[in-house]
Structure 1
């Protein structure tokens, strides 16, 4: 496996560089904006790390699945996969390398967002004189890490399965949005059965349950259905798909 080669391949392209910079900038910018606006809207109450982290995770929840999809599927969409396999004939190793590269890049982006959130919370508390509130910081940070890793995993799973950057991007962004809308509608139905069925498609709920240790069968089903199943099916397709 050569994940650093795949990272360099992504970052050597203008599109890959722009996506990475936008991901970093959006996470850091959202953290700063949230931290410094909190005292304005809370009448001088302490700046909450929780609030900063939640706002920081919003743009990264969109950027990370995009990065994951592009990392895995871009060679197929650009028709450079033939060259890739000529240079690296072990298809399974290529896929594993790309998945590891996506994880490394995602970890860097997530770490930058977390550090920016902590620093912005402290700076905003000091500058405004409101102080900073880090209550339950460990739990909050773990929850956001799990959520962001979940979005990254879903994006890479879609890229592996669909092997087309446009299709993977549509699936990575449309499915969570549709599940969120459906979840809101189920509240009107007040049906426990429908709620649990929607939960099987809700990866964000599953990652939250994993973070706080309250995993239920539907949460396991969500991870299996939205991440593991596409990865397995995509791996089989990756190893058998004709080129050309």
Structure 2
């Protein structure tokens, strides 16, 4: 299983770094796109096939899904390489309406996207199998409707990628991350969450605490806003976790 960061900028795209979007690949299978924020399609064009990928979402805030209408155009209308099958889509139960409104031609309309995606809504803590990967949606603490962290396990090797999506500090994050080989943890609050709103985002300090308690292999700090001090956020995580820590960046590749 291979993980490629298409983009991991927090709350919006940044120069050279699209919004939340990740590419999970297994040999001989369609890729899995995990979130698809602003700029994701441009990054995907040089790294994967937009017409041959499943799509899963942690939640539907714009910085995690706003490039979906452009992806639909590619899959439907590319002159030489459109999608030749319906791929699977998983996410909150309003995905079809949400993306249908985003890609509709006129006010009040909902574009029917089931021509190119077969949608199923997450059921919290119930795993689904997508080819060689088992995905378990774990509920987290974030204002967006039906927000989940996602735990991806390769069925043959047992390797695990855990992704917080967006979340404030909550007990479910420890189960989400438990023993993960790669832990993609948002750190939108920068070094510390002190004085910040609860139930919304994590800090570098909290990411380090979760990683240490959960016994992860590598902690990857993501969803840091363009104006934040990344090095201070990294230093805060290192005060609590003595394993490998990386600042996520567009184009990073992790072979599991």
Normalised by the size of structure 1, how large is the TM-score?
A: 0.25
More strand by share: 2
More helix by share: 1
Higher relative contact order (CA 8 A, sep 6+): 1
